[in-house]
Amino acid sequence: MKKDILIALNVSFITLLLTAGLYPLLVTGFSSLFFPHQVSGSLIKDKNGKVIGSELLSQKFSTPAYFFPRPAAKNKGYNGVSSGGSNLGPTSLALIQEIQERISHISKVNSAPIPLDLVTASASGFDPHISLEAALWQAPQVALQRNVSLERIVSLIESMKEPRYFYILGEPRVNVLMLNLTLDHYFGPPGRQP
């Protein structure tokens, strides 16, 4: 019996060493070697090395000269520490009221029908992308605020369009943070004449 306990302890120790030590080190090393940008969180930095954001997380943009992302599900401040979806179901009066408030708020931007992803939160609450339709819906407001032609904004959106995953899954989309940074790159920060 003592021998069986020693064997069990040895197997447990070796398994712990492999799964909690060696395997994570190998995966981290492999990832760092072949995917250095992704392993650090796909962080976007300015020319001084200051972190601006991540390609993988939505950020709040409240200035009308920028494209805005999908609504955050859990908190309105887009705090990455407390991400998560909502437990409200499609028949929930609270959810219906939230969506109606969002529609009321953003219908001032454009009188055209509002794309669904601009009034509904994602499951994670922090999707960095919006649909191509949502970006095009916001384009007139951004063009007006930046004093740039609508054609130039639409052309920029088209150039930033990401295809469907594996060309069959999902819909074409645009990364909001990358689009807004590109806006600043080409047209300068809001308020500056291009």
Asked whether the predicted pLDDT for residue 194 surpasses 50, the reply is no
**The tokens of 115 are what?**
């794309």
* Cβ pair 173, 136 in contact under 8 A: no
Please tell me the predicted confidence (pLDDT) of residue 80.
Answer: 60
C-alpha–C-alpha distance, residues 145 and 42, integer Å: 29
Asked whether the predicted pLDDT for residue 65 surpasses 90, the reply is yes
Average pLDDT value for the chain: 87
pLDDT in tens, 153-191: 999 999 999 999 898 998 999 999 999 999 999 998 886
Give the global pTM.
0.79
Domain ranges of the chain: 2-37, 41-187
